[in-house]
Amino acid sequence: MAESGKCAGSPCAPEIEGGRGIARRADENDGVVPRARPLFQGRRRVAMLIAGIAGMAAIATAMPVRAKDTATATGEVRRIDVGQGLVALRHGEIKEMGLPAATLVYHIAPALLRDIKPGDKVRFTATRQDGAYVVTAISKSVMP
């Protein structure tokens, strides 16, 4: 709405904006302070968010942050289950795989357990496969 009279429609005429009662002059950038807009809106915001997450995932997978997947160590056989293909080994710290000194149960091919029995001192190679620890080689070792 504009005032009637000689200033009607001219830059000197105050106007009421959108029924909110804000008087403004038409020649001063429409008299309205521009509102800050979000950096990205709607679909563009979603696309940028997805691109950012994908970028972070690519960086995370490119940077190795975990221990090696294979290591050789020595230890003592504690238990054997040939039927299930499991062997419990007590060993010291295996730094390459990030394992502390412990007694752990490893998966193993039953054929590798042919000459091994509980109490034997062994040298073994272990690997991490699909979240499980697997012994891929084992032999009796000469340890004091």
Which run of H or of E encompasses 45?
helix 42-62
**Which regions of the chain carry the CATH code 2.40.50.320?**
70-140
Q: Mean pLDDT of all residues in the chain? A: 75
Q: What is the pLDDT of residue 143?
A: 56
Fold of 70-140: OB fold (Dihydrolipoamide Acetyltransferase, E2P) (2.40.50)
Rounded Cα distance, 132 and 77, in Å? 18
Q: pTM score, two decimals?
A: 0.53
Q: Tell me which range, 5-9, 24-28, 102-106, is most confidently predicted by mean pLDDT.
A: 102-106
pLDDT in tens, 94-108: 999 989 999 999 999
Q: Which two tokens stand for residue 66?
A: 């975990």
pLDDT in tens, 57-87: 666 555 454 556 899 999 999 999 999 999 9
